[in-house]
Chains A and B, each alone.
Chain A
Amino acid sequence: MTTRIELGQALRQLPLEAPASSLWPALQTHLPDKPVRTIWPLALAASAALLALLLFTDRTRPPLTADLAQQVSAVDMTRLMDRSAQLENSFYALQDDDQSSATVIAANLGIEDRLQAIDSQLAAQPASDDAQRLWQQRIELLDQGVALNRTNAAYRAEGNDFDLALASLN
């Protein structure tokens, strides 16, 4: 006996249709004109506060042990901040929303959300003991973002679907 299919199920199984071309380029002109990214101001505020701390260190005074430790720590921090800025540039430069899938855009937005959370903590306590750890976290997160967008670009360049590759990992 042939198995029959319920009409509703058959209709629900029909493939979804898509427009001939994306309407997004035209649609985005309708977006309200509002400021969006809050990451940069917060990161800059955090950086500025830390820089101010470094600049106001009295360099004429003979270094004491505690000052020396502070200076070494400040140098480390500057390196972390430089690295973070470098990665942040790459992270945004590598993103290509017109060519990326919804999954990749969502992943990038997720990273931005987490960056924003870190930046908020840095802005609240720029010179705390935790600052170094937070900058390190920021770098690791941006590293992941850069790797994600590089891999996505490489897949696209070869005409492959990055989403399918991601799905096959699950």
Chain B
Amino acid sequence: MKPFSPFAIDVPDSLIQRAKRGDRRAFEHIYRCFERPIYTLGLRLCGQPSEAQDVLQDCMIKVMTRISEFKGQSPFWGWLRQIAVNEALMRLRRSAKGFLEEDVYEAELTDAGCLLPPEAAEAASLIEALRALPAATRAVMWLYHAEGFTHEEIAAQTGKSISFSKSQLSRGTRKLRQLLALEPEQGQHT
């Protein structure tokens, strides 16, 4: 099954070899392919366009200076995405809005609690609701849902526990439903 991450773009090996030789146009091609996925990740995790731009810039500089470290054992996009995630999480950790919250138990959601009516899934309202979430919660939700990371992977990357990741996901989903003015989930834990 093809990964659903927006980073999942196949880059020909010949292009990577050219980039390793310092070919400007090969790097430009890589930049153009990944500009939007990196910027979007930065924006969703850090919240501000200026921060997303910094993530994009720092990530690309790392890609350009460290491409010789890419050994081709996994897809190139996965290697590049990990650099982007690390950059975004590092910024988030350094900022006041980082992962400061303690692990707080939050009951897991039922399947019905994760379903949205079509009008709530409309892009503008969903983006607005996402922006209103606490940064750490939004980051966990995005990494889990949009990038397909597991709770174990999110815990390892954020330096928090697996239960923290699960709790943030449940809390974020409930908060998102509130922000989208949806009815409470049946049998919701309060």
Query: B4–A36 contact, CB under 8 A?
Result: no
**Please, which residues of chain B bring their CB within 8 A of the CB of A16?**
6, 36-37, 39-40
**Please, which residues of chain A bring their CB within 8 A of the CB of B73?**
none
B60 part of interface (Cβ distance < 8 Å): yes
Query: A6–B29 contact, CB under 8 A?
Result: no
A168 part of interface (Cβ distance < 8 Å): no
Quick check: which of B18-26, B80-88, B154-162 contacts chain A, the rest being far away? B18-26
Query: A20–B49 contact, CB under 8 A?
Result: yes
Interface size range on A against B: 35 or more
CA separation between A81 and B56, bound complex, in Å?
44
Q: Mark A80-114, 1 if CB is under 8 A from B, else 0.
A: 00000000000000000100011001101110010
- List chain B positions with a Cβ less than 8 A from chain A: 4, 6, 12, 14-15, 18, 21-29, 31-33, 35-37, 39-40, 43, 49, 52-53, 56-57, 60-61, 64-65, 114-118, 120-121, 123, 126-127, 130, 141-142, 144-146, 173, 176
Q: List 23 A-B contacts (CB under 8 A).
A: A7-B114, A7-B115, A7-B116, A8-B144, A11-B146, A13-B121, A16-B6, A17-B39, A18-B35, A19-B52, A26-B57, A27-B60, A28-B24, A30-B65, A32-B64, A33-B22, A36-B22, A36-B23, A36-B24, A102-B29, A102-B32, A109-B25, A110-B14
